[in-house]
Amino acid sequence: MSAIKNAVGAGTAGDVRGGKHFDDIAALLAKFFLEAGYTPQEIRVSKGLELPGYYRPQKKWDVVVTHQDILVAAFELKALGGPSFSKNYNNRVEEALGSAVDLRRAALANHFPGEKPWLGYFFIMEDAEGSRSTVDLRRGAFPVEDAWRGTSYQDRFAIFCDRLVAEGLYDSACYITSSAENPKPVELKESLDWRHFSAAITARLTYLKELGFPQHAGMLPL
């Protein structure tokens, strides 16, 4: 928790929408792979982040790790801030779904040789009245699933992230809230906390190490 606290710092979801405050999160994620023997050139956080898709030619991810011709991991780092949470809530949901489905299908089409790509999703929501308050459901043609009734945008995103992982769209997700008044990150659900997220990354690195990756650590030009 201290690692993610330091990385988030005083930033909130409202601050990071432009992406600048995600630099520290990206560096924290990169550290896992550097310590596992991957070279800095294999860990992309600013350039070369475009990956081939299936339903579109390319999509830019936020952190991409490669080794030889293998896509080791790709991360999406996203945020949602106020004051209008309703305006961008569906956009964030659709972005996360679209990115994962596109890349997973591209993998099935053998666009990524070798080991199956590992996908991670990191999300921070601004803790505010608008994100904590219960959201009314509109009357539609069919009833809404009970899980969504009486939920706030914070609650809804926890359900969403849990289901992303349960359905195998992402291998792990980390979801936190934060605010300018209280910048300390709050983890709303244990299964989506930093401890579980970092354990999943470490487990993947251990799995690849058992298979002999990275090979010739520190000596591979890209």
Mean pLDDT of 7-33: 70
Q: What mean pLDDT comes out for the span 185-200?
A: 96
Residues β-bridged to residue 73: 65, 118
- State pLDDT tens for residues 128-176: 999 999 999 998 999 999 999 999 999 999 999 999 999 999 999 999 9
Residue 216 lies in a domain: no
**Residue 215 located in a structural domain:** no
Long-range interactions of 134-143: CB distance < 8 A, separation 24+: 135/86
Q: What local confidence, expressed as pLDDT, does residue 15 receive?
A: 52
Q: What is the mean pLDDT of residues 108-119?
A: 96
Q: Which amino acid is at 216?
A: H
Q: What is the pLDDT of residues 99-112, one digit of tens each?
A: 999 999 999 999 99
Return the half-sphere exposure (C-beta side, CA atoms, 13 A cut-off) of residue 157. Answer: 33
Do the domain assignments include residue 165? Answer: yes
Task: For residue 1, name the pLDDT band (cuts at 50, 70, 90).
Answer: low
Confidence (pLDDT) at 65:
97
What's the total number of domains in the chain?
A: 1
* Mean pLDDT, all residues of the chain: 90
Domain assignment present for residue 62? The answer is: yes
Q: How far apart are CA 80 and CA 211, in angstroms?
A: 38
pLDDT at 87: 86
Q: Model pTM?
A: 0.90
Query: 72 lies in which domain range?
Result: 2-210
Residue 60 lies in a domain: yes
Residue 220 is assigned to a structural domain of this protein:
no
Tokens of residue 31, six digits: 């550290």
Residue 215 has pLDDT above 90, yes or no: no
Strand 70-80: give its sheet, edge to edge: 43-44, 63-67, 70-80, 118-126, 172-178, 186-187
State how far the alpha carbon of 222 is from the alpha carbons of 38, 44, 63, 191, 211, in Å. 12, 11, 16, 36, 21
Cα separation of 211 and 209, whole Å? 5
121 is a domain residue? yes
